[in-house]
Structure 1
Amino acid sequence: MTSIKKQVEETFEYLHRHPEISWEEVETTKYIRDILEENDCEVTTFEDCTGVIGKFGDFEKGLPVVAVRADMDALWQEVDGKFQPNHSCGHDAHMAMVLGVLWKLREQPELADKVAVKLIFQPAEEKGAGALKMIEQGVIDDVDYLFGIHLRPGQETSLGRATPVIVHGATKMIVGEIKGHDAHGARPHLNINSIEVGVQIVNMIRQIHLDPRIPHSVKMTQFQAGGKNVNIVPGNATFSLDLRAQNNQLMEELTRKVEEILSSLQSFYKTEINITHTHGIVAAENHQEAVGIMRQSIADVLGEQQVDEPLLTPGGDDFHYYSVNKPSLKATMVGLGCDLGPGLHHPAMTFNQEALINGAEILHRAILNTYQLEQTSR
């Protein structure tokens, strides 16, 4: 009989070899759906998007519903000179660990009427939109507790350790345009040079001063102006800004400051500056009861000395849309030590696969601890 550890590792290897980008996780959805059905789960898929939900246990007795979420999508990035889907953020590992939770629950058939567990396999985390789509589909309407997991880089924690909560920050991307007209290089007085406007945007956003006790930043990450001729003063340009803040309140303040700068420069230069697109991810809104359950679960599996303090990171995850949109939800995300390197989103990212079973066991233990059930060895 194949051990759960072996099943998790083999599942990870399959998913790693078959990455699919955001909203295109079609084969991944089918693969996971088949596993859920084989393990007697009630399965839900969606007509208008990828993703799949499995239910294990008794949802008729009024038990609290505990959900475990895994993200499914890969990144589109250059690997060895070729652009392709690539699981360099660990979502293949997250899916394998959550399936491991199901296999561990199935080891204890007596749990079938003592738990109500929902396994959420969510698309499009890398787009920051998959969680919102699952919310729209009503996936968390009946959920009381929500647990997630994410591999962590080696510089944050090591193999055999874990943190019960990742305190992600908020992110926002602002795409804008400067609209004017071109002028001859000999007559710069006849237009507004969009490059000079871009320089002023950079200078002024660097002078934003907010509460220094809360991490935050804003920077220009793209700027395009001009064409092939160097004797034209360009009046048009496009630009992108990357905003980060450790909490949602400061992100609102930072966004307002940026918008005021763009408005003032538009007035000063008598040109048109428009925001054409914004998207982002909210900061973590974790629940202390959920964090406490996860802290105890890590200690149960790895040992009390292997529990890390809460992990503060400027990175983001759309997992937090669930708790922001449903404040009563008791949610937290585990940060799993796995000696990951060189780093998340690096095309050659690797990690120690011994951590996979650690993650599955921690999430499984968290479910049992939520219901205050004992684990039996079989």
Structure 2
Amino acid sequence: MQQITDDLFQDMLRWRRYLHENPELSNHESNTVDYIIKELNSFDGNFELVRPTPTSVIAKLKGNNTDKTVVLRSDIDALPIDEQTDLSFKSSKGGIMHACGHDGHTAMLLAAAKTLGEKEKEIDGQIWFLFQHAEELATGALEILSTGHLSEADYIFGVHLNNNFPVGQFGLASGRMMSASDGFSIDIKGKGGHAAMPHTTTDAIYVGTQLINAFNQVVARQVDANDQAIISVTTFNAGFANNVMPDNAKLSGCIRSFSEKTRIFLKEKMKTITDHFALVSDCNIEMKWQRGADAVINTPYLTEAVANLINEKIDDGKAVEIMPQMISEDFGSYLKEIPGNFLFVGSGNPEANIDKALHHPKFTFDEEAMKYGAALHIQTALKMSSYKED
């Protein structure tokens, strides 16, 4: 990468490895954000630091004019996972791990801030570097937006490391990229008794199985096949002995969707189904809904602009069009209010056994990928801060 010197890459390695060794969970990123601020204060450039929440920071770099305000975003939180890698800089905290690449995301954005701080007089418009908390809870982006600190933003851009793509490749999707994700839990209260006398009970397990079948039918027969959606029941807990019908059963799972219309329809339909089975089974059924991340719907003309930028400034032919993914990211909340683009930065290297999926206890990424992500941040900021729309 032309923009990524050996010294800057060494900085990225230092930043990433410190953060990996010292992970912090969502809404507890105090040391992480203090470390980021310390590094930002050491850079050239006149950065204005703003704290929209206690564990996030925005570094604002003002160029020669107020043409465009471009936001580059990284997430900074870790996951409640016990790391199983053999890295020399593995997590020093039991049960907490950077298993989603946020340590790398932060290092790449710091590298962009350092480089662009040195080019401050060459920049048109403003570049804001957003280090966001609590992405893993799907609450951080909404909290940042609610503060009003991004009200002047013209564009927002973000990246995510992904081992499904080789180092040097970028995965882009115009429009739909990643689904919304919502959670649900269902508590079925029946009437227990002896397994030899089921007629004297109200079978909570049977009702749970019927709910699962009904939910599957909703997606298969009531959602347009072109409007992707998933209902997955992922836990089913009931009973304690083979000759006892339990009083209660508990289900939980997640819903994935792209359109807000389908998102609302699934919630309402599942509630109708649970109410129906409560009536016909004489069970008391309570359903709770947890709204999660919004769908990542990229702005098509900006996806095209970024793809052209990759091919022209980074590596021709490395911008690859991908199908929409049913995983989620709270970056979608920004895109509901601000035009922008989110993409994957290839970080896999199977020959080096770097191929584990995100959230795996042995997840790591090829650190060479950080050169590509940082270079893209830099080029995106330079181009989009003076971008002229047709």
The answer as to 2:55 corresponding to 1:50 is yes
User: 1:85-164 alignment to 2 at 5 Å?
Assistant: 85-111=96-122, 114-154=124-164, 157-164=165-172
* Cα pair 2:61 2:120 within 8 Å, conserved: no
Cα distance in 1 between the residues matched to 2:311 and 2:115 = 18
Is the alpha carbon distance of 1:34 and 1:159 closer, same or farther for their aligned partners in structure 2, counting shifts above 3 Å? same
Partner of residue 190, structure 2: 180
Cα distance in 1 between the residues matched to 2:118 and 2:166 = 29
The answer as to 2:234 corresponding to 1:221 is yes
Cα distance in 1 between the residues matched to 2:58 and 2:385 = 21
Cα distance in 2 between the residues matched to 1:80 and 1:29 = 25
Q: Alpha carbon RMSD of aligned pairs, Å?
A: 2.3
* Cα pair 1:20 1:74 within 8 Å, conserved: yes
Q: CA deviation at 1:120?
A: 0.8
Is the alpha carbon distance of 1:245 and 1:137 closer, same or farther for their aligned partners in structure 2, counting shifts above 3 Å? same
Equivalent pairs, count: 364
Q: CA deviation at 1:288?
A: 2.0
| Paired residue secondary structure (2:236) | strand
Q: CA deviation at 1:311?
A: 4.3
Is the alpha carbon distance of 1:359 and 1:311 closer, same or farther for their aligned partners in structure 2, counting shifts above 3 Å? farther
Q: CA deviation at 1:98?
A: 0.7
- Residues 266-313 of structure 1 show CA distances to partners (whole Å, capped at 9, x for unaligned) of 111122111134232221221123212211221133322111114421
Cα distance in 2 between the residues matched to 1:310 and 1:249 = 24
Out of 303, 310, 313, which is 1:301 matched to?
A: 313
| Paired residue secondary structure (1:206) | helix
Partner of residue 259, structure 2: 247
Is the alpha carbon distance of 1:35 and 1:162 closer, same or farther for their aligned partners in structure 2, counting shifts above 3 Å? same
Identity %: 27
Cα distance in 1 between the residues matched to 2:187 and 2:343 = 39
| Paired residue secondary structure (2:292) | strand
* Cα pair 1:294 1:334 within 8 Å, conserved: no
- Residues 113-137 of structure 1 show CA distances to partners (whole Å, capped at 9, x for unaligned) of x231111111111111111111112
Q: CA deviation at 1:366?
A: 0.8
Structure 2: gaps of 5 or more residues:
86-92, 349-353
| Paired residue secondary structure (1:88) | coil
| Paired residue secondary structure (2:80) | strand
* Cα pair 1:69 1:98 within 8 Å, conserved: yes
Cα distance in 2 between the residues matched to 1:364 and 1:150 = 15
Partner of residue 14, structure 2: 10
Q: CA deviation at 1:153?
A: 2.3
Cα distance in 1 between the residues matched to 2:26 and 2:120 = 35
The answer to which of 75-84 and 131-140 deviates more is 75-84
The answer as to 2:225 corresponding to 1:212 is yes
Q: CA deviation at 1:38?
A: 2.5
- Residues 138-180 of structure 1 show CA distances to partners (whole Å, capped at 9, x for unaligned) of 23211110000001223xx221111344700121111121123
Partner of residue 41, structure 1: 47
User: 1:306-345 alignment to 2 at 5 Å?
Assistant: 306-324=318-336, 326=337, 329-339=338-348, 341-345=355-359
What is the TM-score of this pair, normalised by structure 1? 0.89
- Residues 66-92 of structure 1 show CA distances to partners (whole Å, capped at 9, x for unaligned) of 001101111111334995111111011
The answer to which of 278-287 and 89-98 deviates more is 278-287
Q: Which amino acid aligns with 2:13?
A: E
